[in-house]
A = this chain, B = another copy of it.
Amino acid sequence: MRITKQREIILQILREKRSHPTALEIYNMAKEHIHDISLSTVYRTLKDMVEKGEIVELHMEGETKARYDLNLDNHAHFKCRHCGRIFDIEIMFPLKLIGFKVERTDIYIYGICSQCSKKEVLA
């Protein structure tokens, strides 16, 4: 895989932004650095990275667009029903399934984040 300015920017965005951006969001951020970058390049690069295991593709409940995450540790994603933000949560739990070979674990948690919990608005 060759090092191009497109790939460097995409990787840099994923490193700096820990907000689990979508391909379109990455594309818009990348455009500020490379004005003629194309959405297909972003999609192609992200797909390559996923196949190489460098990043992980996430699908949150009720969202059609995939999100991308550089953090390869097994960790959980918490999505707040109120503000929509997605948090990385450190949950390490030893997972043993008899006879099963576990290669990766994705945990999705949905609810209300601590900040939104403080607003009495919510049921």
Contacts and interface: CB of A to CB of B under 8 A. Distances in A.
A114 B93 contact: no
B117 A101 contact: yes
Among A59, A61, A62, A112, residue most surrounded by chain B Cβ atoms (within 10 Å) = A59
- Determine the interface band of chain A, counting residues with CB < 8 A from chain B: 20 to 34
Task: Please tell me how many copies of the chain the complex holds.
Answer: 2
A102 to B, nearest CB: 5
B109 A105 contact: yes
Contact of A109 (B91, B97, B114, B117): B97
Given A95-B109, A107-B105, A100 B114 contact: yes
Contacts of A108: 105-108
Contacts of A101: 111-112, 117
A70 to B, nearest CB: 16
A117 B104 CA distance: 16
A63 B101 CA distance: 20
Contact of A107 (B89, B106, B114): B106
A81 interface: yes
